[in-house]
Amino acid sequence: MAEGPNRILEMARAFQESRILLTGAELGVFGAIGDDTLTSADVAARIGADPRATDRLMNALVVLGLLTKDGGQFSNSPEAREFLVPGRPGYVGGALGHTSSLWHTWSTLTDAVRAGTSVVKRDDESRDRYVKPFIAAMHFNASRNAEHILPELDLTGVRRVIDVGGGSGAYSIAFCRANPDITAVVFDQPDVVPLTQHYAAEAGLSDRISTVTGDFTKDELGRDFDLAFMSHILHSNSPAENAELIRRACRALKPGGQIVVQEFVIDECRTSPPWAVLFALNMLVGTKAGDTFTESEIRAWFSDAGFTDIRRADPPGANATLLLAAKRSKR
């Protein structure tokens, strides 16, 4: 017998802590404090907010362990100083900016379930606000994840890589650093590739990482590549779009070339692993027909496109699954 409704009620209220953190980050509370010790009125003046409301927000951030308070003076906690102050090496502001965007899309979940698709109205202005923090968040995650997936890849003999929907180019950067003979092409949308070029230049790899603009759900990807890499892009598409995308990737590869797909692969009953189950809803609220997909679905797309030697890898420390295969060689 259940021990009262407390667990359910706590679950229902869990959004409050998330919203407090995101509001603190959006307003710049942590950056305003930095290494200083300030009153809430001082912080309110620095961020341009109401003094009383700022004080109540900062008290809540103390409860969350992100600020400390001594008398009327506030300081960042060690954790906040390391991860929430802009300019620090561990700063996660880009990831939090993306999470703030998700706050708005997830608020439409009820309507999305009724409609069977995303009900978010998007325009060029909203996309402009969304793209930079999204790419920053993906760069942060991919840069940390690359070291875990590289041991699963055979880059011997790989010279040309097509990084489909490669965003910041974080994986292309990792491939180029792992193998000095590799050059990479990041294929992405026109408002993304300037960000890619910035990250490549920052890594000192502008001479080895180039960009091509296009729509990977419609356009050909090029020819004569040794490796086609796709990290977390299948989940944005419908099954039919993915089947066609994998066929285009096959056409872009040399005979014997490799395809590597990284995804949140869900089990056949669609109830595990937990993050993949929740991510399916993230795709429901944010895309027209995106989803998380099973291993059997991805294997079928590979086989139908002309790939063989299909295998799965779950690298230790990585946050997703790899599906790898080779293009059939000409006989």
CA angle 49, 55, 61 (to 5 degrees): 105
- Whether the pLDDT of residue 330 is over 80: the answer is no
Domains of the chain, earliest start first? 6-86 (1.10.10.10), 109-327 (3.40.50.150)
Strands 183-188 and 160-164: parallel
Pair of tokens at residue 100: 């703030």
pLDDT band at 329 (very low <50, low <70, confident <90, very high): confident
Residue among 41, 90, 84, 48 nearest 66 (CA): 84
| Residue 183 backbone phi and psi in degrees, to 5 | -120, 150
Pair of tokens at residue 192: 């993304």
Report the distance separating Cα 121 and Cα 126, nearest Å.
9
Report the chain's mean pLDDT, rounded to a whole number. 94
Q: Which amino acid belongs to residue 27?
A: L
Please report the pLDDT score of residue 134 as a whole number. Answer: 84
Q: What is the pTM of this model?
A: 0.88
pLDDT digits 0-9 by tens, 129-175: 778 888 988 898 899 899 999 999 999 999 999 999 999 999 999 99
The fraction of the chain above a pLDDT of 70, given in percent, is: 98
> Across residues 236-255, what is the average pLDDT?
97
301 neighbors 242 (Cβ within 8 angstroms): yes
pLDDT digits 0-9 by tens, 213-240: 999 999 999 999 999 999 999 999 999 9
Please report the pLDDT score of residue 197 as a whole number. Answer: 97
